[in-house]
Amino acid sequence: MPQLPADVLRGTLDLLVLKTLTLEPMHGWGISARIEQFSRGRLDVNQGSLYPALQRLEQKGWIESEWRTTENNRRARYYRLTAAGRRALGAETTSWRRYVESVELILGTT
């Protein structure tokens, strides 16, 4: 992950997780694999930091989890987006885009 201030990093990770979960419920490893896949290998999420992020999102009520068995008959915790989470995703995406625009504006003025 590029070096950004901690809270921006945290917020960005939350955004990525929410976005990834719009497709289907997934377990932690699946989310990290999907993020890596979609970013075309450019974002190599520190996989360990995913789990505190998932707990935080669950405490906010934006995702919910349940234990399920996978195709290989293993037990895994699957995460799913909630209605509140879907709304939050929209809001977070907007504020992220605005943030990027502001940074671009500043960088653009020379």
Q: Interface with other proteins by CB under 8 A: which residues?
A: 27-29, 32, 46-49, 51-52, 55-56, 58-62, 64, 74-77, 82-85
Contact between 19 and 100 (Cβ < 8 Å): no
Q: In whole angstroms, how close is the CB of 88 to other proteins at the nearest point?
A: 8
For residues 55 and 102, which CB has a smaller minimum distance to other proteins in the complex? 55
Q: In whole angstroms, how close is the CB of 18 to other proteins at the nearest point?
A: 13
Q: In whole angstroms, how close is the CB of 101 to other proteins at the nearest point?
A: 28
The upper half-sphere exposure of residue 36, i.e. CA atoms within 13 Å in the direction of its Cβ, equals: 11
Describe the strand order of the beta sheet including 63-69 as a list of residue ranges: 26-27, 75-81, 63-69
Q: In whole angstroms, how close is the CB of 97 to other proteins at the nearest point?
A: 23
Question: CA dist 11 to 5, 54, 93, 110, Å?
Answer: 10, 12, 10, 29
For residues 3 and 110, which CB has a smaller minimum distance to other proteins in the complex? 3
For residues 68 and 97, which CB has a smaller minimum distance to other proteins in the complex? 68
Closest CA to 52 of 4, 88, 6: 6
